[in-house]
Amino acid sequence: MRILLATKNRGKIRELNSLFAGTGVEFVGLDIVESPPEVVEDGKTYQENALKKAMTFYRLTGLPTLAEDSGLEVDALGGAPGVYSARYAGEDATDEDNNRKLLQALKDVEFEKRTARFVSVLCLVMDGKPHFFEGEVRGRILMEPEGSSGFGYDPVFCPEGYEHSFAVLGQEIKNSISHRARAIEKLKGFLERMLQ
């Protein structure tokens, strides 16, 4: 079964194909689509954004399509940055810009009160119908960034039960406990049932 992953990120495609090795599911990226359109993520929720992306490319290609939206929700900031996580410090913000803005917003908040969660919502459109799979990981925002692996808010997010950020813990641990890993587990169960 071929599934179109609504991303140009080769790393994400490789990661999913390794997680699904031996299942009979193969993921292909947007590089198979001739001049793919930019999908504006203007939804109010992760579900709306993931659905919009998945449905756009499903209608374009007719292939089962998987899209993701994810974000970081910080309790002390009322759930911000949330759906704006990727552009928290502005439209063309870098990961460093976003992390800097986040730490600035939390500068007067003590460590115990810096609770947060990463949320991932996957939307798979098959036969014109959407199926959603969600995962989350709870933790805290560190006082300053640490580590160099990963991307996004990884250097400032310390998952529950650990003493270091995702950027220190590295890919292997992150891929076993992350919000995305938990959403993918649910997707995997769904696809395995479909293929039986």
Model-level pTM?
0.92
Q: 88-146, pLDDT tens digit by residue? A: 999 889 999 999 999 999 999 999 999 999 999 999 999 999 999 999 999 999 999 99
Give yes or no: 69 in active site. Answer: yes
Domains of the chain: 2-195 (3.90.950.10)
- Residue 160 in contact with residue 116, Cβ under 8 Å? no
Q: 9-59, pLDDT tens digit by residue? A: 787 888 888 888 888 999 999 999 999 999 999 999 999 999 999 999 999
Could you give the CA distance from residue 182 to residue 43 in angstroms, rounded to a whole number?
Answer: 23
Could you give the CA distance from residue 126 to residue 194 in angstroms, rounded to a whole number?
Answer: 11
Minimal CA–CA distance to 55: which of 125, 122, 121, 145?
A: 125
Q: Which of 69, 75, 108, 154 is catalytic?
A: 69
Beta-sheet strand order (sheet of 115-126): 26-28, 2-5, 65-74, 115-126, 129-141, 157-159
